[in-house]
Amino acid sequence: MVIFAFGGTEIVSVAAAETENPQHSVGQAIRTVVWRILVFYIGSVFVIAAVLPSTSEELASPFAGVLNVAGIPGAGAAITLVAVVALLSALNANLYGASRMVFSLSERGEAPRFLSKINKARVPVLAVAVSVAFGFLAAVLELAFPEKILPALFQLVGSTCLMVWGSALVSQLILRRRADREGTVLPLRMKGFPGLTIFGLVLLALIFAVGFSSPDSSKQLFSTIALVAGIAAACWIGARLTRNRSAAPAEHADRVDAGK
């Protein structure tokens, strides 16, 4: 469920850069995501909690369990099929987001340059292929090490959500104030700034505090922070190397011109 919500919000933010009218399309997409979360996620959890006791064996497949308790014949199998389709849809959405993110990093020099190549239809084929390959690798590792890879990925998604949302809130707080100070015209301005941004940061700080208070979740958070720091360091080193390689021909050309 967290993956679906995370994927939905991330796809909205990634797709915003590819729309012709972000002021209209992003606002409409955000409103759609909000009511879908309220109905399909929060609403479904409320129904499950109201119907199934915490000790019920049906919680292994809660949606099918609710329909089985309701006595609807064949409903359990039907909802399982729907869940599979939903998982495939989430997979497709996250592959889109991952490939576009890899493509964007490559264009900025923070990932290998070959990942920014596009075909005649302007699709970043190599970025998509790398994202798909990672998915296949994760599936193979889960088959080789059952009940180890998938829980680790679930934990990584949860802690990564906190890191991504935290960095987004801090970035918005800094960049929005800079834009207002410089008089930059923004096509899409968040209402309630900076109060809502600070409120979100406070909520995230409380979540981190609760997470660090538990030995299991604290290991997860520390591992994610170390992973993010490692990726950031690798991106910084890669960007420095790219700039140095780009600057070398220019310096050589300047020396040649000066010699003439």
d(CA 4, CA 37) in angstroms, rounded, equals 9
**In-domain check, residue 189:** yes
Residue 243 lies in a domain: yes
Q: Residue 166's domain spans which residues?
A: 147-260
Max mean pLDDT among 67-71, 129-133, 187-191 falls in: 129-133
Q: Is the pLDDT of residue 121 over 70?
A: yes
Higher pLDDT, 56 or 194: 194
Question: Residue 181: inside a domain, yes or no?
Answer: yes
Report pLDDT for 174: 93
pLDDT digits (tens, 9 = 90+) for 136-162: 898 898 888 887 888 777 777 778 888
> How far apart (Å, rounded) are the C-alpha atoms in residues 168 and 186?
17
Cβ atoms of residues 109 and 84 within 8 Å? no
Q: For the whole model, what pTM was predicted?
A: 0.62
Find out whether 79 and 64 touch, Cβ atoms under 8 Å: yes
| 93 within a domain of the structure (yes/no) | no
Indicate the length of the chain as a whole number: 260
CB-based contact 149:142 (threshold 8 Å): yes
In a domain, 72, yes or no: no
Residue 221 has pLDDT above 60, yes or no: yes
CA-based Rg of the chain, rounded to a whole angstrom? 23
Residue 173 is assigned to a structural domain of this protein: yes
Percent residues over pLDDT 70 in the chain: 85
Helix orientation angle between 125-144 and 149-182, rounded to the nearest 10 degrees: 150
pLDDT of residue 18: 56
DSSP string, the chain: -HHHHHHHHHHHHHHHTT-S-HHHHHHHHHHHHHHHIIIIIIHHHHHHHHHS-TT-GGGGSHHHHHHHHTT-TTHHHHHHHHHHHHHHHHHHHHHHHHHHHHHHHHHTTSS-GGGG---TT---HHHHHHHHHHHHHHHHHHHHSTTTHHHHHHHHHHHHHHHHHHHHHHHHHHHHHHHHHHT---SS--TTTTHHHHHHHHHHHHHHHHHHTSHHHHHHHHHHHHHHHHHHHHHHHHHHHHHHHHHHHHHHHHHHHHH-
Residue 194 CA to residue 182 CA, distance in Å, equals: 17
The count of structural domains within the chain is 1
Structural domain contains residue 120: no
pLDDT value at residue 243: 72
Say how far apart CA 156 and CA 134 lie, in whole Å: 15
Q: Is residue 160 part of a domain?
A: yes
